[in-house]
Amino acid sequence: MHRRQFLGNAALAALLLPLAGGGDARAATARKRLLPVPLGKGDTVALVSPSSATDEPFDLQLAQEAMQALGFEVKTGAHYAQRRGHLAGTDAGRAGDLNAMFADKQVKAIICARGGSGAARLLPLLDYDAIRRNPKALLGYSDITALHSALHARTGLVTFHGPIGSGSWNRFNVDQFQRMFFDRELMQYQNPTDRGDELVQRKNRTVTITGGKAQGELVGGNLSVLVALAGSPYLPDFSGKILFLEDVSEAPYRIDRMFSTLKLMGVLDRVAGVIFGQCTDCDPGDGYGSLTLAGIFDDYLKPLRIPAYRGAMIGHIREQFIVPIGGKVEMDADAGSFRMLEPVFQS
């Protein structure tokens, strides 16, 4: 699940700062937001593997069965089950599957089979003009952040951060999917309040970093993948946006370095609010002197004096929100919640 190979040489980020979030990304602010076509039961969805190959081929079958159980016909990319090292086939093959599924009029949505690493390699190979002509929902998280960011920056398309095809389709995730895609509900995102057998709730708690409310379009995703796009034309414009982040298996010193990069890029000074989801397995290691995540948030987010909270059910967790990247939301950092303000599908 590590994506460290995409971080490259951190020193290069400083050299690329004039480009970060600029160029084509700045032009994206003038583009109209592009809404995907609606999705219904009986429609055809595509399963693609734009990142890592799976180490268990049976998971690909489970992904198809899950989509069928949701009520869809399923198409798989031509390179869906291939492998080249840790990747699910060659760059040209994986990008070709994405381009083909966006161009296929029969396909109404694209589900990524898994994350891992490798999606950023595809960004120069995608046909953004064709994607703009055929807007449809893309669902995935983790390494799929590279695709979400590029599609939003280059086309304005609203995409969806949420479960992968081979992941858990538990009751919570299925409910999120049905409400978002079938009911097209203006979703309210607030962690469930369930104490279990505890005197006070411990699980799924949110923590306010700075109180207040803010409105803006959602941008973000996996922190390490997002930072790895620094200096490229595949980052969205962050001005006035609500930035949401998550990560997995990253030591606090690495989280600190990534937040430092966001600060140096000017991202943190431009956003209207910050929602941090889960950082799974990001505890300090053994030894003396490690920063904590809470301390990192205090260092980078509190001085901004914008609404910010942590603990949202976004990230590498079994039950996760499905959130629209590019969708307009209002966040309430005191309540630890956010809500959609506008539809995110074509009428």
CATH of the domain at 315: 3.50.30.60
- Residue 189 is assigned to a structural domain of this protein: no
- For 214-266, write each residue's pLDDT tens digit: 999 999 999 999 999 999 999 999 999 999 999 999 999 999 999 999 999 99
Output the pTM of the full model: 0.91
Mark whether 214 and 298 lie in a shared domain.
yes
CB neighbour class for 32 (10 Å; exposed up to 12, middle 13-18, buried from 19) = exposed
Cβ distance 173 to 320 under 8 Å? Answer: yes
- With a cut of 60, say whether residue 26 has pLDDT above it: no
Q: What is the distance between the alpha carbons of residues 259 and 288, in angstroms, rounded to a whole number?
A: 22
Please report the pLDDT score of residue 259 as a whole number: 98
CATH of the domain at 163: 3.40.50.10740
Mark whether 316 and 246 lie in a shared domain.
yes
Q: Is 274 helix (H, G, I), strand (E, B) or coil?
A: strand
Structural domain of 257: 4-25+202-284+292-340
- For 317-333, write each residue's pLDDT tens digit: 999 999 999 999 999 99
Structural domain count, the chain: 2
Q: What is the distance between the alpha carbons of residues 215 and 307, in angstroms, rounded to a whole number?
A: 10
Q: Find the mean pLDDT for residues 339-347.
A: 97
Q: Find the mean pLDDT for residues 332-339.
A: 98
Mark whether 147 and 258 lie in a shared domain.
no
- Residue 211 is assigned to a structural domain of this protein: yes
Q: Find the mean pLDDT for residues 305-316.
A: 98
- For 95-116, write each residue's pLDDT tens digit: 999 999 999 999 999 999 999 9
Mark whether 19 and 48 lie in a shared domain.
no
- With a cut of 70, say whether residue 1 has pLDDT above it: no
Q: What is the distance between the alpha carbons of residues 96 and 101, in angstroms, rounded to a whole number?
A: 8
- Residue 126 is assigned to a structural domain of this protein: yes
* Catalytic positions, written as ranges: 142, 246, 316
To 10 degrees, the CA torsion angle through 204, 209, 211, 216?
-80
Please report the pLDDT score of residue 31 as a whole number: 65
Helix axes 252-265, 293-300, angle to 10 degrees: 10
Mark whether 241 and 331 lie in a shared domain.
yes
- Say which residue the tokens 């396909």 belong to: 107
Mark whether 327 and 243 lie in a shared domain.
yes
- Residue 66 is assigned to a structural domain of this protein: yes
Mark whether 174 and 227 lie in a shared domain.
no
- Residue 54 is assigned to a structural domain of this protein: yes
Mark whether 153 and 251 lie in a shared domain.
no
Mark whether 102 and 141 lie in a shared domain.
yes
Per mean pLDDT, which of 1-15, 195-209, 250-264 is the most reliable? 250-264
Mark whether 147 and 224 lie in a shared domain.
no
CA 256 to the chain's CA centroid: 20
Q: What is the distance between the alpha carbons of residues 275 and 213, in angstroms, rounded to a whole number?
A: 12
Domain end residue (candidates: 182, 214, 249): 182
Domain end residue (candidates: 151, 182, 213): 182
Mark whether 253 and 216 lie in a shared domain.
yes
Q: CB pairs under 8 A, 24+ apart, for 190-193?
A: 190/335, 190/336, 190/337, 191/311, 191/312, 191/313, 191/336
- Residue 194 is assigned to a structural domain of this protein: no
- Residue 238 is assigned to a structural domain of this protein: yes
- Residue 224 is assigned to a structural domain of this protein: yes
Domain end residue (candidates: 134, 154, 182): 182
Q: In what order do the strands lie in the sheet with 323-325?
A: 73-76, 44-48, 107-112, 137-140, 159-161, 323-325
Mark whether 157 and 248 lie in a shared domain.
no
- For 111-154, write each residue's pLDDT tens digit: 999 999 999 999 999 999 999 999 999 999 999 999 999 999 99
- With a cut of 50, say whether residue 84 has pLDDT above it: yes
